[in-house]
Amino acid sequence: MNKTIEAIRELTSAVGRPVRLMEVCGTHTVAIFRHGIRDILPTEIMLLSGPGCPVCVTSIRDVDTVIELSRRKDTIIATFGDMMRVPGARMNLLQAKAEGSDIRIVYSPLDALKFAEADRDKKIVFFATGFETTSPLVAGTMAEADARKIGNFSIYSVHKTVPPALKGLVESPDVRIDGFILPGHVTTIIGMKPYEFLAGDYQKPAVVTGFDAPDILNGILMLLKQIVGHESRIENAYAKVVKEKGNPRAVELLEEFFEPEDVYWRGIGMIPGSGLRLRDRHGERDIMRTVAVSVPEGHEPKACSCGDVLRGIKVPTDCVLFGKACTPDSPVGACMVSTEGSCAAYFKYRALPRES
């Protein structure tokens, strides 16, 4: 690893300017802090945290919609635990539960299916969040519900996909990124091909890496080699797990149940084709096609910089609320809620701005 660090220093000197690299995955953000990688890199390398935390990009309106659904006496909401404290316009799911809504934390969508099988008189709605890593699991759960004829299981899908978000970033005039550290878990599913536009259309180098310190450092080294050589390729530094074509069966299952749609990313805005909605042939599993619920669009808290953090324009410590009005115990913005959120990671590891 020492040789890799020395090579990184040499290449950074060869670039001759600051280098801005974005790790897209929230798990990478946490791993980079845990391994102390920022502390051993040259100060000219800035690692930015991208929109790779599904909790952080779930819109206020989506949270409010699920809360409104939870108020129906015939409805049980099942959700992953890290969604419970994501702020809505007036409250979060934890507060709605305290007011009497039946909201249950699950570790898998299959847990929600068990609720549906046990109580056929209730509508069980799974708050389906996540990227391409979790959406095939939800598709598989719906296939299981069909096979077992469990008709009272449905989902509220806020699934999002990574490549369109990256396209939105590189097309944004105020975002400056020299290269991408691509997400290992997502790429295990979708493979390498969906990222080819980064290098081909936008001349942005990108490398998919694992989560150990040697994996991440090697990925940074590969990016620097491309930058120094004025090259743009999509490379795989996680070949022990990520295959060129990903997981074809998972992708097939995903495409059987879902189709792309334009969706709103919290703090970022509308990104074309970046969401997943159920196909019409599976529409009976979409709670919003069977129940009429309408809530107004919520507004982001004043002074919260979560959107700029997710786009790599700011780091969490640039936000005036960070560590003061906004902490993991009392989050103002969604980036402080999840353990994979950039603000929460910065707070946990007490990251301070580095002197350049």
**CATH code for position 262:** 3.40.50.11740
CATH number at residue 178: 3.40.50.11750
- One domain for residues 157 and 169: no
The verdict on residue 209 lying in a domain is: yes
Q: Answer yes or no: are the C-beta atoms of 135 and 254 closer than 8 Å.
A: yes
The verdict on residue 296 lying in a domain is: no
**Which of 232, 257, 280 corresponds to the end of one domain?**
232
- One domain for residues 152 and 186: no
331 DSSP assignment: -
The verdict on residue 55 lying in a domain is: no
Place of tokens 């939800």: 138
Q: What is the spatial order of strands in the sheet that 123-128 belongs to?
A: 103-105, 75-79, 123-128, 153-157
For the record, the structure tokens of 221 come out as: 């080294």
- One domain for residues 83 and 180: no
Q: What is the pTM of this model?
A: 0.92
Provide the residue range defining the domain that includes 28. 2-45+162-232
The verdict on residue 182 lying in a domain is: yes
325 DSSP assignment: T
The neighbouring-strand residues paired with 103 are 77
Per-residue pLDDT of the chain (356 residues; tens, 9 = 90+): 789 999 999 999 999 999 999 999 989 999 999 999 999 999 999 999 999 889 899 999 999 999 999 999 999 999 999 999 999 999 999 999 999 999 999 999 999 999 999 999 999 999 999 999 999 999 999 999 999 999 999 999 999 999 999 999 999 988 899 999 999 999 999 999 999 999 999 999 999 999 999 999 999 999 999 999 999 999 999 999 999 999 999 999 999 999 999 999 988 899 999 999 999 999 999 999 999 888 887 788 888 999 999 999 999 999 999 999 999 988 988 899 988 899 999 998 876 555 44
- One domain for residues 224 and 250: no
As separate numbers, helices (DSSP H) first and strands (DSSP E) second, the chain gives 14, 11
Number of domains, the chain: 3
> d(Cα 193, Cα 195) in Å, to the nearest integer?
5
- One domain for residues 145 and 41: no
> d(Cα 238, Cα 209) in Å, to the nearest integer?
5
* 304: nearest Cα among 321, 290, 287: 321
The CA-based angle 55-60-66, given to 5 degrees, is 85
> d(Cα 41, Cα 50) in Å, to the nearest integer?
19
Q: What does the buried/exposed string (b/e) look like for 219-232 if buried means 16 or more CB atoms within 10 Å of the residue's CB?
A: bbbbbbbbbbeeeb
The verdict on residue 51 lying in a domain is: no
pLDDT of residue 352: 53
- One domain for residues 154 and 93: yes
**Which of 232, 256, 277 corresponds to the end of one domain?**
232
Secondary structure of 299-310 in HEC code, one letter for each residue: CCCCCCCHHHHH
- Orientation angle between helical segments 213-228 and 26-34, nearest 10 degrees: 110
Tell me the residue ranges of DSSP E strands in 83-178: 103-105, 123-128, 153-157
The verdict on residue 353 lying in a domain is: no
The verdict on residue 32 lying in a domain is: yes
pLDDT of residue 356: 42
Q: What is the spatial order of strands in the sheet that 19-23 belongs to?
A: 45-49, 19-23, 179-182, 206-208, 234-236
Q: Answer yes or no: are the C-beta atoms of 84 and 105 closer than 8 Å.
A: yes
Cα distances from 35 to residues 44, 123, 129, 181, in angstroms, run: 19, 44, 28, 16
Cα distances from 62 to residues 70, 93, 127, 295, in angstroms, run: 12, 11, 9, 9
Place of tokens 């390498």: 192
- One domain for residues 67 and 150: yes
- One domain for residues 341 and 213: no
327 DSSP assignment: B
- One domain for residues 261 and 141: yes
- One domain for residues 168 and 156: no
- One domain for residues 155 and 29: no
pLDDT of residue 349: 87
| H or E element that contains 265 | strand 258-265
* 339: nearest Cα among 328, 350, 325, 352: 328
- One domain for residues 70 and 133: yes
The verdict on residue 142 lying in a domain is: yes
